[in-house]
Amino acid sequence: MVDNIPVHVDPARPAAPTLEQVAERAGVSRSTASRAINGGLRVSPEALASVEAAVTDLGYTPNRAARSLVTKRTDSIALVVPEPDERVLSDPFFAGTLNGLSSSLADSDMQVVLVIARPGESERTVRYLRNGHVDGAIVVSHHANDELDRALQISRVPNVFVGRPLSADERDVQYVDTDNVEGGRLATQRLIDRGCRRIATIAGPADMSAGIDRLTGWRTAIRAAGMSDDAVVRGDFTMASGTIAVRELLARFPDVDGIFIASDLMAAGALSVLAEHGKDVPGDVAVVGYDNLGVAASTTPPLTSVIQPVVAMARAAGARLLDQLNGAPPSPPLIFAPELVIRASA
């Protein structure tokens, strides 16, 4: 029978210190010790110092579940990525985002929960965030039709977007970004300065601010140079879409001699197709990418690329979310200036 199962207790293993022992050591009540450990609310500086000393002396570790009941906080934030699983696991942009976010939380007790909001599941994602599972959210790779920015604004869950939001009024949403318009212009100007006369672009998705803004930057430079801006094909920031897009581009615009490609992954796919077609890069076709993540230096030839400071952006987003959780007022958008790294492709 279950009642007869023996319970073995290791007599050599010391029992974990309790909250009552902390209170006794500090010379305060149990409730005062609890308040001191869970944020120091309504506790005198002297009592707080005594409790902190007792915690250190005894090696006391607060019970996270009990602490959450007191503070109404989970000590966790969600990194929300509205993309398919395989994209999240293969794109270096998301690894850089996680790296930056983790570093911004290193000095806090916060943990990161990865939430992959698959297409069509934004309502389910917001319901999860709103139901108290996390204290706030960082959203990356936002698409207009997922409407996460508008839904999070209504839910009042603290949040920061990495990338300019699209469906809600951007004045009502906190976000960090890079100046994608200027980045697209810089990339295109590099091709113009090299002497390219028929410059195309493989643009990003039309439902993402990065796709929209980098295309705007390309058009700004092309029109300023008096060139035609009709050579546009879109991809979805993946390597596979870059191979498909450049095949279409070469078929429709065989005289192209320069291509601005709105992500390094798409550019890596495009370079392989250009090689298949016997196109020398940069002799026949010069190529500039965007992101300057690990793939840019490993392509053949190495890729000239616009820096998107993903780690710094995610770090800044994490810091802003922590500020929100600590009661700070909203901050204006933080926009990083783009830079061009010149390599052999252009």
Q: What is the DSSP string of 13-59?
A: SPPPP-HHHHHHHHTS-HHHHHHHHTT-TT--HHHHHHHHHHHHHHT
CATH code for the structural domain at 76-178+311-337: 3.40.50.2300
Nearest to 313 by CA among 327, 293, 343, 298: 293
Q: What's 294's DSSP letter?
A: G
The pLDDT tens digits for 284-333 are 999 999 999 889 999 999 999 999 999 999 999 999 999 998 888 888 99
Distance CA 64, CA 311 (A): 29
Q: According to the model, what pLDDT value does residue 67 have?
A: 52
Single-letter amino acid code for the residue at 158: P
Q: Could you read off the pLDDT of 8-55 as tens digits, one per residue?
A: 444 444 567 888 888 899 998 888 887 777 666 678 888 888 888 988
Cα(148)–Cα(274) distance, integer angstroms: 38
Percent of the chain with pLDDT over 90: 54
pLDDT value of residue 122: 76
What pLDDT, on the 0 to 100 scale, is given for residue 62? 66
CATH number for the domain running over 19-62: 1.10.260.40
Tokens in use for 254? 């065989």
The CATH number assigned to the domain with range 180-307 reads: 3.40.50.2300
Distance CA 261, CA 265 (A): 9
| Residue ranges, CATH 3.40.50.2300, the chain | 76-178+311-337, 180-307
Q: What is the pLDDT of residues 243-271, one digit of tens each?
A: 999 999 999 999 999 999 999 999 999 99
More confident residue, 252 or 173: 252
pLDDT tens digits along 85-129 = 788 888 889 999 999 999 898 888 788 999 988 777 777 888 888
The pLDDT of residue 64 is 53
